[in-house]
Amino acid sequence: MNLNKLTIKKAHQGLLKKKFSAVELTEAVLNQIKRRDKDIHAYLFLTEELSLSQAKRIDKKIANKEKIGLLAGIPMAVKDIILIEGIRCTAGSKILENYIAPYDATVIKKLKQAGAIIVGKTNLDEFGMGSSTENSAFGPTKNPHDLERVPGGSSGGSAAALASDQCIYALGADTGGSIRQPASLCGIVGLKPTYGRISRYGLIAFASSLDQIGPMARKVEDVQIVFELIKGKDGMDSTSLNPPLEKTKVKFQIKDLKIGLPKEYFIKGIDPAVEKTIRRAISQYEKMGAQVMEVSLPHTEYALAAYYIIQPAEASANLARYDGIKYGLSKKASDLLGVYLQTRQHGFGDEVRRRIMLGTYTLSAGYYEAYYLKAQKVRTLIKEDFIKAFEKVDVLMTPVTPTLAFKLGEKIDDPVAMYLSDIYTASLNLAGLPGISIPCGQVGKLPVGLQIIGQQFDDEKILKIAQEYEDRSV
């Protein structure tokens, strides 16, 4: 039995029945990392000591016949943009290369209380800025399905770790597709919850009106278990909230479900093989009795442009804090301005500087109304498009990203081509909606992901819909 491939429930049962110990389970994962990760580079670094001490504690509890929760003793990975007290947190950037987190993120606090075993921190595009993990200052991650291809990004490390059985589940973060797109390209499950459902306290800020932490795993059931534990309003994040109660009590049958296909998402630009795979998956739902109809999201063509105004603008403000004074890289210079200029020139990579420059420009005097304000108005139109579509249907189904995993280096010199990877995902962040990527087939050896989109707070509902597909496709 390969312990590192187990689902959360199977691993939990194994622990309870003493088929194996939490230490053995953790060692199985660590051994797989040692075998596989030199080729894949999903992890930036391991927290081996922390994980084994956590595992021993759980084994002691089991030996003492104390009650343990579902996640106790289960090894997991954390995107290296979420703080774990006393552990390095780099955000994939030279500027935070030696930064030691002074406190636990709320999600980490909850996971630790549940007895989770943290085995390491996973690679990402610097500060989450990218769609391929090639923008990491510490080298790219490879797609386990084809080592010449990217795993997607920015949570590419977490997705690749899962696809190569180097953890049982993982945390990611999604600003414009950073959980869903790598989940799709690596053939795993990734949930971008409704904005605010999971506290972001201890998540290094990128674009605050869009950022959301979410769970990633090989099975929908595992994603659901982790979401259940880490969700909820938190006093430390004033944007976090609990949904209206009726939203979380999901009662429906697939045969009563109305699925909308936004016609603007199935147009030129999508790889025909990807489209075929997506349509086949949707027809599965039809076979289960769901009704499928075309809907329109007329402002789709403006979504990505609005996203690439709002997100860099917020990033330019958030990343102003890296000044070489309070923490992180600090370059020597003769005066204060020199410290800023040197530190930020050498600490940030190209993509981060591109976005900070763009955001600084669009927020600068004379341009704010033409760009930022205009984009926030377009954001209203995009939100209204979704509201109107949801008057006709219960959920939307779309591709996650227009292509299969692309080759390393293929898009790195063309920022706009790279940005198009987010074309089906960024709208959800703009509108605050939940979306899940589930594996729905392969083209050759490369996976394709189906995106299921719900209304705000329909997280539980889209999880259930995803589960029904998974149950039938095994």
Partner 1 sequence: MESAFEIMKFKKEQIEHVAKLARFGLSDKEKRRFQKELSAILDFVEKLKQAKTEKVEPIAQITGLENVSRPDRGRAKTKQERKKLLDLVPQTKDGYVKVKAVL
- Please give the residue ranges that form the binding site for partner 1 (CB under 8 A): 99-100, 102-103, 194-196, 209, 235, 238-239, 241, 299, 301-302, 305-306, 308-309, 316, 320, 323-328, 330, 335-337, 339-342, 344-345, 348, 353-354, 356-358, 360-361, 364, 370-371, 373-381, 383, 415-416, 419, 430-432, 456
CB of 146 to partner 1, least distance (A): 28
Toward partner 1, which CB reaches closer, 16 or 336?
Answer: 336
The first and second tokens of residue 71, run together, are: 């996640």
CB of 203 to partner 1, least distance (A): 17
CB of 350 to partner 1, least distance (A): 8
Toward partner 1, which CB reaches closer, 147 or 336?
Answer: 336
Amino acid (one-letter) located at 247: K
CB of 172 to partner 1, least distance (A): 20
Mind giving me the DSSP string for 218-275? SSHHHHHHHHHHHBS-BTTBTT--PPPHHHHS----GGG-EEEEEGGGSSTTS-HHHH
CB of 284 to partner 1, least distance (A): 32
Amino acid (one-letter) located at 398: T
Toward partner 1, which CB reaches closer, 6 or 205?
Answer: 205
Block residue for tokens 């292509």 = 403
Q: Is 113 in contact with 305 (CB distance < 8 Å)?
A: no
CA geometry: angle 89, 95, 99, nearest 5 deg? 35
Mind giving me the DSSP string for 31-99? HHHHHHHHHH--EEEE-HHHHHHHHHHHHHHHHTT----TTTT-EEEEETTB--TTSB--TT-GGGTT-
Burial class (CB in 10 A: 0-12, 13-18, 19+), 413: exposed
Residues linked to residue 215 through DSSP beta bridges, in sequence order:
171
What span, in angstroms and rounded, lies between the C-alpha atoms of 195 and 131?
20
Toward partner 1, which CB reaches closer, 10 or 112?
Answer: 112
Q: Which residues are catalytic?
A: 79, 154, 178
Toward partner 1, which CB reaches closer, 348 or 469?
Answer: 348
